[in-house]
Amino acid sequence: MTDLIEMSGIGKAFAGVVALRDASLAIRPGEVHAIIGQNGAGKSTLIKILTGVYRRDEGSVQMAGEDLTISTPREAQDAGISTIYQELSLVPLRSVTENVMMGYEPRTRLGLIDWKAAHARTREILARFGVEIDVTRQLGRYSTAIQQLVAIARAVSLDARLVIMDEATSSLDDQEIETLFSVVRELKKSGVAVLYISHFLSELYEICDRVTIMRDGRTVATHEVAQTTRLGLVSEMLGRDASEIAAAGQTALSGERSKPGATLLEVDGLGTRTGLRDVSFEIRKGEIVGLGGLLGSGRTESARAIFGLDKLLRGEVRHHAAPVIDTPARAIALGMGFLTEDRKADGIIPHMSVRENITLALLPRLRRFGAVDRARERELVQGYIDALQIKTSGMEQPIRELSGGNQQKVLLARWLALEPEILILDEPTRGVDVGAKFEIQSIIRNQVAKGLAVLLISSEFEELVEGADRIVVLQDGYSVTELQNPGITESALIGAMVHHHERLAS
C-alpha cells in the first residue's frame, strides 16, 4: 500500500538554529498516526512544513506517491490536508457559520453568499459532532470547548484526506473528548487519515494505530502502538534509560512540604460581573493553593479578580501590605505575578526578543535615568535562560520562533524575575511536553521551598492533587469546600467538584 503522506530527509533551520535534520514521517491512508516528542523536538515545525506554513530547506514530501509542493496553508487545504492548531485560529467576533465556512462559502447565482445554505450546512456538520447550537451567534460567546469543536468541524467540512490535530483535546472535558474520539473513529472508517499530536499518552493508546517519536529535530522511530509500552515510549522520547525514568516517577510538584507561614492574601466573598458569586480563601507564605473546578466554575476569573483585572462587585481582596489591588501594575508592585492560560493572547509579545519578553514586568526596577539599564538586564536575562534551560539561539531571538514549552519558560522567567511573593499559575504546563513539564514543576517547587506562595490552576487532576497543599474547590462561581493535603486523592477531588453542595441561603 502506498503511503498517503511520505516526508523524508526533511531539514529546516531558523536563523542558523537547526530545528529539523533528516526528519521523516509516513502516514498510511485511513490510519490514526500519533507524533510525540519533547518541546523543541521539531513536531510543530515538521507539521508546519507539511501544511505550507514554513518552507523546508531540504528533503521531499510526497502525497499518494506524487511530489507535493505546498507553499500556503490554502494550498494544503485544497490538497486535502486540514489542520486544527493548538492555539485556536478562529475569528471570535464572527458567527459560527462564518467561521466554519470561511473561504468556502456557498454562493447564490448572483455570486453573493447563500446564508441559508451556509447556516444549514454548518448545522449539519456540527450535528455530526453532537453539537447543536445557534450557528448565527458570535463564536466568541461560546465556551473554549465548543470553539474547539467548531475548529474541528471546519477542518472536517473541507473534505480532508488528512486531518492534523495539534493538542486538540487540551481544553476539552471528558465527555467532549469522547465525542472527539468518536469523530476520529468515524473519520478513520471513511478512509481519512488523522495525524494526532498530544502530550497525553493515554489518548494515544485509546485511538492511535501507529506512533512516530521525535527527538532533537530527528525522527527516532515509528511503532505500532499496540506493540509499545508507555515506559518504552517515554524513554525513547527523552533519550534516557527506561529504568531510570521508572525510578523517578510522579510529578515534580510533590516533594517536601514545609509548614506554611504567615497569611499574605485573604480573599473574602468575591463577586464579579465575570461570573464569580462568592469566593473566599487565603494564601499563605510558602504554600501551593490549588483551585479546583470544572470549566466555567470560576478558577481563571478568581485569578483575574485578585490580580486587579476585573472589577469587584462584592467582597474584597486583602493584601497584607495594601488594602486595595485595582490594577495589574499595583499587583505587580505588591509582589504578585500572573502566568496566564492563553500564551498567545495574554503572554508573549511576538516581535520582541526573549530578553525583552523576560524583563517586561520588571521594567520599572530596571529604570536608570528614564532608560533601561541594559547591562543589568542582560545579566539578569542570561541568568534565567541558564537556570530555566531555555532553548534559544540567544537572548535576542524573537520569542515567536521558540517552541511552545520554551515560550512558557520565558513567561515563567518574566514572573520569577520579579522575585514575587505570590505567583498565580493558570495551567502552567498546558501544551508542554513531559520533559519541560517536569522542569517547570520542579522550578516552581524550588521557589515554593524558598517561601513563594503559589495559586495553582490546573485541569490536570494529577498536577493539582500532587502539587497543592490545599485545594479550594469552586462550583458555579462559589467556593464550596477546601481539601487538605496530605490525603487528597483524585477521586476525592472529582467528587468535591461535581457533588452538589448546599449553600447557605442569603
Nearer Cβ to other proteins, position 64 or 352?
Answer: 352
CA gap 312, 276 in Å, rounded: 9
Least distance between other proteins and beta carbon 104 (Å): 23
Least distance between other proteins and beta carbon 360 (Å): 4
Least distance between other proteins and beta carbon 333 (Å): 7
Least distance between other proteins and beta carbon 82 (Å): 21
Q: For residue 17, what are the CA distances in angstroms to 11, 14, 20, 91, 352?
A: 11, 5, 9, 33, 18
Least distance between other proteins and beta carbon 367 (Å): 5
Nearer Cβ to other proteins, position 258 or 393?
Answer: 393
List of residues contacting other proteins (CB under 8 A): 14, 54-55, 307, 309, 327-329, 331-333, 338, 340, 345-352, 356, 360-361, 363-364, 367, 370-372, 374, 414
List the one residue out of 307, 275, 218 whose CA is nearest residue 9: 218
Nearer Cβ to other proteins, position 191 or 394?
Answer: 394
Least distance between other proteins and beta carbon 416 (Å): 13
CA gap 465, 484 in Å, rounded: 10
CA gap 461, 478 in Å, rounded: 20
Nearer Cβ to other proteins, position 332 or 488?
Answer: 332
DSSP string, 413-431: HHHHTT--SEEEEESTTTT
With H, G, I as helix, E, B as strand and everything else as coil, classify residue 6. strand
Q: For 158-264, where are the alpha helices, taking DSSP H only?
A: 174-189, 201-207, 230-238, 242-248
β-sheet bridge partners, residue 195: 33, 164
Nearer Cβ to other proteins, position 17 or 242?
Answer: 17
| Phi, psi for 111 (deg, rounded to 5) | 90, 5
Spatial neighbors of 112 by CB under 8 A, at least 6 apart, are none
Nearer Cβ to other proteins, position 341 or 439?
Answer: 341
What is the H or E stretch that residue 48 is in?
helix 43-50
Answer for the pair 288, 456: CB distance below 8 angstroms, yes or no. Answer: yes
Sign of the CA dihedral 94, 89, 26, 64?
positive
Least distance between other proteins and beta carbon 344 (Å): 9
* Cα atoms found within 13 Å of the Cα of residue 107, Cβ hemisphere only: 6
Nearer Cβ to other proteins, position 270 or 348?
Answer: 348
Nearer Cβ to other proteins, position 209 or 356?
Answer: 356
Least distance between other proteins and beta carbon 168 (Å): 24
Tell me how long the chain is.
Answer: 506
CA gap 20, 50 in Å, rounded: 13
Answer for the pair 430, 462: CB distance below 8 angstroms, yes or no. Answer: no
| Phi, psi for 27 (deg, rounded to 5) | -120, 130
Sign of the CA dihedral 403, 407, 409, 410?
positive
List the one residue out of 235, 289, 304 whose CA is nearest residue 422: 289
What is the H or E stretch that residue 453 is in?
strand 453-457
Least distance between other proteins and beta carbon 121 (Å): 32
Nearer Cβ to other proteins, position 28 or 330?
Answer: 330
Nearer Cβ to other proteins, position 128 or 330?
Answer: 330
Nearer Cβ to other proteins, position 91 or 498?
Answer: 91
Which cell numbers hold the place of 262? 504567615
**DSSP strand E in 217-287: where?**
218-224, 263-272, 279-284
Least distance between other proteins and beta carbon 329 (Å): 4
Least distance between other proteins and beta carbon 372 (Å): 6
